[in-house]
Amino acid sequence: MARVYVSTVINAPAAEVWARVRDFNALPRWHPRIRESRIENGEPSDKVGCVRDFRLQNGDRIREKLLGLSDFDMFCTYAILESPMPLTDYVATLRVTPITDGDRAFCEWSADFECAEAVADDLVAGIGADVFQGGFDALKRHFTR
């Protein structure tokens, strides 16, 4: 099993960061690699079990299912259903935790998945840098304005 873990500190209150990322259909509004997204079957984007169907800027399509969402604990967990990446059993969690010293946010994004050993290092590096850190960098830019 491969594991990706990325963390950062964002200079904004955790509640504000969570408000920006909690909508399971809002990736295009805050993540630069996402072009468009929709929730299938018209379901609410915060309903556990809903499926988002989105396209990356390069046109690749990914479908993900919301497995868990907590406004109290400020996290969402989701699984990839379809992806062009050569992996299976992908489950990820994005979590925002308050830092009381300075009213900032500690953010963590992690994923576990199965893949061929030959591609594991590349997948971990790509997801970590392009998806997780890329999203965090965009959030940092948003909250420094």
The full DSSP string for 111-124 is EEEEE-HHHHHHHH
For residue 77, pLDDT over 80 is answered with yes
Torsions phi, psi for 5 (to 5 deg):
-145, 125
- Enumerate the H helices of 22-82 as residue ranges: 27-30
Using one digit for the tens of pLDDT, what is the confidence trace for 6-49?
999 999 999 999 999 999 999 999 999 999 999 999 999 999 99
Tokens of 94: 């994005």
Domain count, the chain: 1
Instruction: Write the CATH number for 105.
Output: 3.30.530.20
pLDDT at 145: 62
What is the domain range of residue 45?
A: 2-143
Tokens of 77: 């967990």
**% of the chain surpassing 70 pLDDT:** 99
> Residue 71 — pLDDT band, cuts 50, 70, 90?
very high
